[in-house]
Amino acid sequence: MTTTVLDHPLVHHKLSLIRDRKTPGSLFRTLIEEVGLLLAVEATRTLPVEPVVIETPLERTESQRLRQLDPVLVPVLRAGLGLLPSFLRLLPTAKVGHLGLYRDHDSLVPVPYYRNFPPLLEARPVFVLDPMLATGGSASEAVRQLKGAGAANLTLVAVLAAPEGLRRLQEDHPDLRIIVGAVDRQLNEKGYILPGLGDAGDRLFGTA
Ligand code: PRP
Ligand code: URA
């Protein structure tokens, strides 16, 4: 498993605002999108390109374009929706799959409730979007379902990760690539990331 932690002044700055309990929901959403853009730049670094000949206003030249088969973005509902606009901004023709999972409050085991994946998963790079990697149960289940549907080139994108979640994914999916904004200290007894940012879904959608 390869894990890339974005070490960038803008990520540090924006994360300090995202973590702040006083940051209102509208700004929280904007900041998640902004960090999402920075994560998207790193996550898309390995996308395949192919040569193309174009004509500039001055001459013919060889350039590069993304391979024709579009990548797939899979936000894990709900909080993964917060990262989707950033990825669609950079990859406007990407296909979008949806996966609904919620963590059972007591067992912390993810409960699947919705799934809709685009075709040709096996041939496309797939980006799983979820701001929070806590126990790793939800991400592991998302990757398991996508592999079961044929996906072979998988990248998980998260804003914050706990060491416990990274260890779980290393065990369950050693072939996974992970791009994350920061790795925090630990989980608390309720499975929340410390210091963390609280409940990402509730803060994004005002349901606290
Ligand atoms: C949150 C988060 C992840 C999951 C992470 O979702 O968005 O999907 O918890 O926790 P884990 O690594 O321990 O599985 P939640 O279940 O709260 O649902 P929501 O996005 O609908 O709020
Ligand atoms: N899900 C969240 O939204 N926050 C956490 O800290 C852990 C799981």
pLDDT of residue 201: 98
Q: What is the DSSP letter of 1?
A: -
pLDDT of residue 54: 98
Residue 135 assigned to a binding site: yes
**Calpha distance 177→174 (Å, rounded):** 9
Side-chain-facing half-sphere of 150: CA atoms under 13 Å: 9
pTM to 2 decimals?
0.98
The interface pTM score, or ipTM, of the predicted complex is 0.98
Q: What is the average per-residue pLDDT within 127-149? A: 98
Q: What is the average per-residue pLDDT within 129-145? A: 98
Ligand 2 atom closest to the CA of 202, numbered from 1: 3
pLDDT of residue 102: 95
What burial class does residue 149 get, using C-beta atoms within 10 Å of its C-beta: 0-12 exposed, 13-18 middle, 19+ buried?
A: middle
The contacts found for 10-18 with CB under 8 angstroms, 24 or more apart, are 10/34, 10/38, 11/35, 11/38, 11/181, 11/182, 15/159, 15/160, 15/181, 15/182, 18/159, 18/197
Reported as a pLDDT band with limits 50, 70 and 90, residue 23 is very high
Q: Which sequence spans correspond to the domains of the chain?
A: 2-47+70-205
Reported as a pLDDT band with limits 50, 70 and 90, residue 35 is very high
Ligand nearest to the CA of 133: 1
Mutation test residue for ligand 1: of 77, 102, 129, 205, the one with most atoms within 8 Å of CB: 102
Write out pLDDT tens, residues 121-132.
999 999 999 999
Given a contact cutoff of 8 angstroms between Cβ atoms, the answer to whether 97 and 116 are in contact is yes
Given a contact cutoff of 8 angstroms between Cβ atoms, the answer to whether 110 and 42 are in contact is no
The domain made up of 2-47+70-205 is a member of CATH 3.40.50.2020: yes
Residue 27 assigned to a binding site: no
Ramachandran class of 118: left when φ > 0, alpha when ψ lies in -120 to 50, beta otherwise? beta
pLDDT of residue 180: 98
Ordered alpha helix ranges (H), the chain: 9-19, 25-43, 84-90, 137-148, 163-172, 200-205
Cβ-Cβ contacts under 8 Å for 92 (sequence gap 6 or more): none
Residues in a beta bridge with 179: 4, 157
Q: What is the average per-residue pLDDT within 149-165? A: 98
| Residue minimizing CA distance to atom 4 of ligand 2 | 199
| Ligand 1 centroid to residue 100 C-alpha, Å | 10
In 3-state terms the chain splits into helix, strand, coil percentages (rounded to 5) of 35, 30, 30
pLDDT of residue 156: 99
* Tokens 């041939």, located at residue: 123
| Ligand 2 centroid to residue 5 C-alpha, Å | 18
Cβ-Cβ contacts under 8 Å for 113 (sequence gap 6 or more): 100, 101, 102
pLDDT of residue 6: 97
Portion of the chain with pLDDT greater than 90, in percent: 99
Write out pLDDT tens, residues 163-195.
999 999 999 999 999 999 999 999 999 999 999
Mutation test residue for ligand 1: of 28, 132, 188, the one with most atoms within 8 Å of CB: 132
Write out pLDDT tens, residues 55-64.
999 999 999 9
What burial class does residue 192 get, using C-beta atoms within 10 Å of its C-beta: 0-12 exposed, 13-18 middle, 19+ buried?
A: middle
Mutation test residue for ligand 2: of 19, 77, 184, 197, the one with most atoms within 8 Å of CB: 197
Cβ-Cβ contacts under 8 Å for 58 (sequence gap 6 or more): none
Q: What is the average per-residue pLDDT within 23-44? A: 98
